[in-house]
Structure 1
């Protein structure tokens, strides 16, 4: 009778579900031993069942994470999309908003620059927000302070120029190197440097970090695309597919 119980469907459910499909505890020692032997034999003969069960479990977890992310984005929508200090580019009236949490020393953030620019150029109806999220050490913090101070002193266009230049820069970050990066843009570098250490800049960085913590973001780049959280580097084609899905 026990052998008849070892059916593929039953085994898959047993592997994937947190609750046993039947009461193994009610078996005798001999029955449990026979059951274990039959399971082992079946899996050796049908190893694909294990992958089917693992895939089913991963799909369940991904669905649960996506549902949780929807709530996280909804609960933090104002801080994400209308904080009043983050740089806004692309089409300010776009029907989809994309937010990127980035760090100037993050290699994958640097790789993502061209992907994002391609998306903004080819789509034309996306509002894009940059969240300064320096998490890779003091050089990252220094670069973010410089970029944010540039925005405060010289405005959005100057910020965009410095942001792009810092994304393209690959050397060590200190005040001297930051000034060299900014030299081509005819900015008041003394005023920017003086602004870097202000409490206002510190508060903006703290606000972004607190927001990231609430959203359970621990790495860069992380994107918020509409109401979805996308953790990690994403190529242009994937971004466009996500945007198209959001539009329905």
Structure 2
């Protein structure tokens, strides 16, 4: 999918959930793509230590096999380190079903089950996972699906705007595909193993200490 097609599909998805028509001022602003919003958008899910000395931002797609390959190593580092704040940027650019998966995960956030939905979909092996299979995995993770659908209906406008911000932020950073990571001042655009994540985290801290 191109960036243009992602935007078009998001617009169609918005219409599906009775979201108000887009206005000229609905598009991402300069503030939306600021460093502060990339790191601390209040609508973006995060985990790890909220007061950590290092923030890692991960841009991912639920149909990206490389994202799935590297996520266990990243989660292991966050848990072992104890001082990392991890920010999840749902960036569904591969298929229309990726957008559905991102919408469901972000809707699950309203029942404090984003992590359940996220890990359920990331745990499905292979690329090009159909939406029906994603939904089945979310349901098995313990997410209340009736509430999820109701929250998606009620908060669809907010979710669509967040996905648009994520897309704009990725574009502002010059990202070309998933996975992509912002680790302190470093940008990493390939999947890493545990040692790779550990090394770049150490480099980012060392660089910050010199400032």
TM-score under structure 1 normalisation? Answer: 0.64
Does the Cα contact within 8 Å between 2:120 and 2:141 map onto a contact in 1? no
CA drift of 1:92 comes to: 1.1
- Root-mean-square deviation (Å): 1.7
Q: CA separation in 1, counterparts of 2:84 and 2:65?
A: 24
Q: Say if 1:189 and 1:209 are closer, same or farther in 2 by CA, change over 3 A.
A: same
Check conservation: 1:98, 1:225, Cα contact below 8 A: yes
Higher helix share: 1
- Note if 1:169 corresponds to 2:124: yes
Structure 2: any 5+ residue segments left out of the alignment?
1-32, 207-211
Distance 1:187 1:121 in 2: 23
Structure 2 contact 49–82 (Cα < 8 Å) conserved: yes
Question: Paired residue for 1:29?
Answer: none
1:66-117: per-residue Cα shift (whole Å, max 9, x none)? xxxxxxxxx8311111110111111111100000000000010000111101
Q: Structure 2 residue aligned with 1:99, among 46, 49, 57?
A: 57
Q: Which has the larger radius of gyration?
A: 1
TM-score (norm 2): 0.75
Q: What is the aligned length?
A: 170
1:98 aligned counterpart, secondary structure: strand
Correspondences of 1:94-133 after superposition (within 5 Å) = 94-133=52-91
User: Which of 138, 143, 149 is equivalent to 2:96?
Assistant: 138
Greater relative contact order (Cα < 8 A, sep 6+): 2
Cα distance 1:230–1:211, how it changes in 2: closer, same or farther (>3 A)? Answer: same
Rounded to whole Å, the distance in 1 between the matches of 2:53 and 2:142 is 34
Where does the alignment leave 5 or more consecutive residues of structure 1 unmatched?
1-74
